[in-house]
């Protein structure tokens, strides 16, 4: 593991994404991307997100093909439990008619949960492995090799998820209510009089835009704070084990809860978008 001169340097290294960008000289990485502007790719976030997403799809697909009506395996029983749990929540919270909502809710819950669970991996393990690969494979200084393994501690991930939900909210609002109905919803509520249209539009627009914003910031804030606490505990050296174990046990409850909240708010928002009255 690379040695750091100060605790602040150690913390900053663990909270920095592996970045890739395009410059006039070609493809650049990490520190060379500091002045690259908006188009910087967080390649560790993308890699772990896609890896966990494809792993989730592959596992559920394989178990769906191998599912039996007899005595199920432990993996099949776990997947059936998750599917039934999500389906029950969709049935109780979504009041419209759409074949997309249940699969969407299942995907959001499992994918966000898997990304959150990466927070339980020891904070030094995967960055240390990445540093070894960079040092012996590419001749890099381990301090210049970055690896953030919890995608939901990257605000780009949480905003991308919430923007996807926001697009679906707009889509279902227009599909169910039509352009006229959706426009009326934005301009004639809560005060149903033409004179209040500007006031209503501002209030309803803020409410509409606050939904993806709250979705993304809630998930990001909780996971970023949790990861930071794990990193601070790791700075204690050999004295970290009791605190690390205690925080990890508590965190086992927090991580599924955050995935559940993200899923439930998505269902509720889409249910509101599908109400035509």
> What digits encode the pLDDT tens for the residues 112-165?
999 999 999 988 889 989 989 988 988 888 888 899 999 999 999 999 999 999
Residue 116 gets the label, from left (phi > 0), alpha (psi -120 to 50) or beta, of: alpha
Active-site residue flag, 222: yes
Active-site residue flag, 214: yes
Given strand 19-23, what is the order of strands in its sheet? 26-29, 19-23, 40-42
Tell me the whole-structure pTM to 2 decimals.
0.90
pLDDT digits (tens, 9 = 90+) for 198-212: 898 999 899 899 999
Q: Residues 173, 273: contact at Cβ < 8 Å?
A: yes
Residue in 173, 200, 216, 222 annotated catalytic: 222
Query: What's the pLDDT at 2?
Result: 56
Domains of the chain, residue spans: 45-119+150-273
pLDDT band at 66 (very low <50, low <70, confident <90, very high): confident
Comparing C-alpha atoms, which of 163, 159, 165, 156 is closest to residue 45?
Answer: 156
- What is the H or E stretch that residue 41 is in? strand 40-42
Residue in 116, 218, 226, 271 annotated catalytic: 218
């Amino acid at each position: 593991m690379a040695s750091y001169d100060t605790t602040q340097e150690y913390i900053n290294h663990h909270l920095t994404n592996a970045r890739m960008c395009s410059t006039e000289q070609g493809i650049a990485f990490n520190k060379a991307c500091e002045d690259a502007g908006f188009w910087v790719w967080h390649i560790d976030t993308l890699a772990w997100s896609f890896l966990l997403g494809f792993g989730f799809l592959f596992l559920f697909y394989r178990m769906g093909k191998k599912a039996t009506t007899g005595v199920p395996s432990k993996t099949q029983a776990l997947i059936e439990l998750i599917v039934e749990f999500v389906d029950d929540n969709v049935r109780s919270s979504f009041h419209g008619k759409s074949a997309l909502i249940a699969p969407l809710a299942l995907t959001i819950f499992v994918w966000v949960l898997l990304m959150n669970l990466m927070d339980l991996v020891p904070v030094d393990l995967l960055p240390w492995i990445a540093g070894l690969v960079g040092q012996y494979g590419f001749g890099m200084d381990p301090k210049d090799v970055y690896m953030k393994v919890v995608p939901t501690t990257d605000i780009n991930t949480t905003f991308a998820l919430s923007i996807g939900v926001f697009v679906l909210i707009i889509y279902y609002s227009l599909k169910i209510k039509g352009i006229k109905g959706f426009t009326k919803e934005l301009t004639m509520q809560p005060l149903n009089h033409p004179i209040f249209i500007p006031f209503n539009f501002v209030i309803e627009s803020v409410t509409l835009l606050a939904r993806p914003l709250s979705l993304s910031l809630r998930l990001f804030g909780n996971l970023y704070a949790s990861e930071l606490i794990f990193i601070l505990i790791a700075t204690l050296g050999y004295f970290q084990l009791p605190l690390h174990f205690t925080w990890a046990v508590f965190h086992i409850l927090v991580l599924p809860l955050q995935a559940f909240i993200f899923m439930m708010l998505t269902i509720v928002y889409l249910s509101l978008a599908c109400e035509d009255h």
